[in-house]
Amino acid sequence: MCGIVGYIGYRNTLPVLLQGLERLEYRGYDSAGVACLENGKKSLFVAKEKGKLAQLTSALNGKTVSSTIGIAHTRWATHGAPSRANAHPHTDTKNRIAVVHNGIIENFAEVKEFLKTRGHRFKSETDTEVIPHLVEELNHGDLEEAFRKAIQRLNGYFAIVMISVDEPEKLFAFKRSNPLVLGVGKGENFAASDVTALLPYTRRVIYLQDNELAVLTKDHIHISTLLHQKSIRRQPTEIKWTLDEAKKGGFPHYMLKEIFEQPHVARQTLEKRIKQGKIYFDTFHQAVNKRLAKVKKVFIVSCGTAHHAGLIGRYMLEEYTRIPTEVQVSSEFRYTDPIVTRDDLVVLISQSGETADTIAAFREAKENGAMTLAIVNVVGSTIAREADFVLYTHAGPEIGVASTKAYIAQLLTLMLFAFHLGVIKKRISQTTLSDLLKELQKIPSAITEILKNEKQLDVAVKALYQKKNFLFIGRGYNFPTALEGALKLKEISYAHAHGYAGGEMKHGPIALIDHTQPVICIASESKTYGKMLSNIQEIKARDAIVLTIASKGDEQVKKLSNWIFYIPRVLEIFSTILSVVPLQLFAYKIAVRNQRDVDQPRNLAKSVTVE
Ligand code: M6R
């Protein structure tokens, strides 16, 4: 959570920082702030505001500050409510040191008490504010040493960037667990929570590793380990994402742009992963496949939308590999005292690769000696780096808080992984595999077809957008799709929505049904189609308002529905990728009609880096 930007170079700093924050606002947006060192003056310029970045920009009102070094922050509150006082950057007593921070300092209360006894006065309720004060306390003429010593006194997980009037030609950065990437320019250097903030200036980046401290001047970056001060030489990585990929591309919202990118994402995933009729995982060599062949049990651990992908992943793995598979939300995994052994595979699914709950679950799995596989979108993220093996989903940057294209890519990757493991376990023949892969190739154009028909949802949306309660039902492979449809709707429209397995309705939820209750039913062709039809009949008999997602040409279910949205006919396993698309569009359209902030819904952040 929280976005950080740091700059040192020759440009006018303020616009660089504000542009960087704009790209990182998805990480948190309850307050924003900047701090710059003013050229020729031994003073800090600090500006911060509660609310979104726009509040800060309008408070600055085009102000110019003569400065070539600065830091900036967009916040998602953890310690202390959203307010101007709690907004970053935070400074020391004499206003000579400014710090931005992403993460949590677990022992901040104790450090704060100590600093108070030393005469430090605090202006905020944040954990962050102890950092500049501690550096001030420990500074005896060498700022880098004071920064290093201060960090050694702090417990927790964080990324920090710091500037000071005492050494105005240096930007200090540190990373432990939370992401921090350095941008390498010519006569300028950068630090940011992710690469999107750097793309207008440079494509050459260095991913700072855990417990590394960096000192940036305009011409040089020096990285060293925190404890032993061992210098690290690391070549920059070239970022291939286009700038356009990180922008809205003409759509009113990132979410809609990302929904419409799904055919491309699916095509790209298949092109990367299927070569000459075979599944190709670049990171899997012979030894990996040997280890996979011995796997006795699979655990899938993830949160939110990634958890729903995991639930579908279980159906896939059990059908095609017959390996028992357990799915858990990351935040519960550790606390169930999971029986994980060296023979097990733990699959971690995460768009950001930075979700704190999933990182914690990963560490639990690692301690138990399990083999870990990360299915992650953000290259170089914590989970991707630390897992034994990684399969990147290559969905490109996902900016909308509501996950859409990353989900499609997760499903495709899980599917291919299940087939791959099925072959290794000799549960699938080469012929079956090539039939499946042939069918799979139809998916990108099937998504395009659905997107072309998106307007067909409008009548239902117009009739339902003011409703406050929705039910979503599905069965088998599409039961998790119902959960995902409900999550999408509630997170961006703020209406209550609940997903159920169709067969569960009669065990309680059917009591909710009357003529005012909308129920969204996923009833595409499947093993459980007949049963699903009965479930729809049961709710229709009680006058529910029914919107059905069905396979093209299904006249039977049409008669039971107020509205129907058809998806192309595909195998049940592949229908999971198609049936979610109208549900994403439905949620989007309802939210827009209710004038919700689709890309940055209240109380949410794109990447949840606190447990
Ligand atoms: O980055 P991750 O995939 O680990 O994030 C997991 C969830 O926080 C995320 O899917 C969240 O539920 C989304 N807002 C759903 O749209």
Please report the pLDDT score of residue 309 as a whole number: 98
CB 484 within 8 A of CB 583: yes
Of ligand 1's listed atoms, the one at least distance from the Cα of 403 is 16
Kindly state the percentage of the chain with pLDDT values over 90: 82
State if residue 486 touches ligand 1 by the CB under 6 angstroms criterion: no
Residue 350 alpha carbon to ligand 1 centre in Å: 7
Residues 367 and 297 in one domain: yes
pLDDT at 611 over 80: no
Please report the pLDDT score of residue 606 as a whole number: 82
Residues 65 and 201 in one domain: yes
Residues 190 and 288 in one domain: no
Please name the residue that has the structure tokens 């000071």: 164
Residue 258 CB partners (closer than 8 Å, separation 6+): 398, 399, 400, 404, 405
Average pLDDT over residues 236-257: 78
Which protein residue's CA is at the shortest distance from atom 9 of ligand 1? Answer: 304
Based on the residue annotation, tell me whether 606 is a catalytic residue of this protein. yes
Please report the pLDDT score of residue 454 as a whole number: 98
Residues 478 and 397 in one domain: no
pLDDT at 246 over 60: no
CA–CA distances in Å: residue 241 to residues 20, 196, 312, 377:
16, 9, 29, 13
- Per the structure, how many domains does the chain have? 3
State if residue 402 touches ligand 1 by the CB under 6 angstroms criterion: yes
Of ligand 1's listed atoms, the one at least distance from the Cα of 404 is 16
Please report the pLDDT score of residue 238 as a whole number: 87
What tens digit of pLDDT does each residue of 562-601 get? 999 999 999 999 999 999 999 999 999 999 999 999 999 9
Q: Is residue 609 in a domain?
A: no
Helices 304-321 and 405-424: angle between axes, nearest 10 degrees:
20
pLDDT at 325 over 80: yes
Residues 493 and 575 in one domain: yes
Average pLDDT over residues 524-533: 96
Catalytic residue among 50, 170, 540, 606: 606
Residue 73 alpha carbon to ligand 1 centre in Å: 22
CA–CA distances in Å: residue 407 to residues 92, 352, 575:
43, 12, 14
Q: Is residue 298 in a domain?
A: yes
Of ligand 1's listed atoms, the one at least distance from the Cα of 358 is 4
Last residue of one domain, picked from the residues 420, 441, 462: 441
Q: Is residue 248 in a domain?
A: no
Residue 424 alpha carbon to ligand 1 centre in Å: 31
State if residue 409 touches ligand 1 by the CB under 6 angstroms criterion: no
pLDDT at 247 over 90: no
Residues 199 and 291 in one domain: no
CB 36 within 8 A of CB 12: no
State if residue 305 touches ligand 1 by the CB under 6 angstroms criterion: yes
Average pLDDT over residues 548-552: 98
Please report the pLDDT score of residue 248 as a whole number: 67
State if residue 403 touches ligand 1 by the CB under 6 angstroms criterion: yes
What tens digit of pLDDT does each residue of 123-152 get? 999 999 999 999 999 999 999 999 999 999
Based on the residue annotation, tell me whether 438 is a catalytic residue of this protein. no
Please report the pLDDT score of residue 282 as a whole number: 79
Residues 221 and 285 in one domain: no
Q: How many Cα atoms occupy the beta-carbon half-sphere of 323 within 13 Å?
A: 33
Q: Is residue 607 in a domain?
A: no
Q: Which of 410, 336, 398, 394 lies closest to 368, judged by CA? A: 336
What's the predicted TM-score (pTM) here?
A: 0.76
Average pLDDT over residues 9-21: 97
Question: How far is Cα 271 from Cα 67, in angstroms, rounded to an integer?
Answer: 47
Residues 306 and 327 in one domain: yes
Of ligand 1's listed atoms, the one at least distance from the Cα of 608 is 8
Kindly state the percentage of the chain with pLDDT values over 70: 98
What tens digit of pLDDT does each residue of 423-453 get? 999 999 999 999 999 999 999 999 999 999 9
Please report the pLDDT score of residue 122 as a whole number: 97
Which protein residue's CA is at the shortest distance from atom 7 of ligand 1? Answer: 304
548 pLDDT band (50/70/90 cuts)? very high
Burial of 537 (0-12, 13-18, 19+ CB in 10 A): exposed
Residue 345 CB partners (closer than 8 Å, separation 6+): 292, 295, 297, 298, 299, 370, 371, 372, 373
Q: Which of 255, 301, 305, 483 to mutate to test the pocket of ligand 1 (most atoms within 8 A of CB)?
A: 305
249 pLDDT band (50/70/90 cuts)? low
What tens digit of pLDDT does each residue of 164-211 get? 999 999 999 999 978 899 999 999 999 999 888 999 999 999 999 999
What tens digit of pLDDT does each residue of 369-412 get? 999 999 998 877 889 888 999 998 988 778 899 999 999 999 99
pLDDT at 80 over 90: no
Q: What is the CATH number of the domain that holds 118?
A: 3.60.20.10
Q: Is residue 126 in a domain?
A: yes
State if residue 355 touches ligand 1 by the CB under 6 angstroms criterion: yes
Six token digits for residue 91 = 């400074």
Q: Could you tell me the residue range of the domain that residue 18 belongs to? A: 3-239
Q: Is residue 463 in a domain?
A: yes
Last residue of one domain, picked from the residues 412, 441, 470: 441
Residues 337 and 464 in one domain: no
Last residue of one domain, picked from the residues 409, 441, 473: 441
Question: How far is Cα 156 from Cα 558, in angstroms, rounded to an integer?
Answer: 55
Residues 26 and 109 in one domain: yes
Q: What is the CATH number of the domain that holds 324?
A: 3.40.50.10490
The mean pLDDT value of the chain amounts to: 94
Q: Is residue 176 in a domain?
A: yes
Of ligand 1's listed atoms, the one at least distance from the Cα of 304 is 12
Residues 398 and 372 in one domain: yes
State if residue 306 touches ligand 1 by the CB under 6 angstroms criterion: yes
State if residue 350 touches ligand 1 by the CB under 6 angstroms criterion: yes
Residues 213 and 350 in one domain: no
Please report the pLDDT score of residue 395 as a whole number: 87
CB 557 within 8 A of CB 228: no
State if residue 607 touches ligand 1 by the CB under 6 angstroms criterion: yes
Residue 201 alpha carbon to ligand 1 centre in Å: 29
Q: Is residue 245 in a domain?
A: no
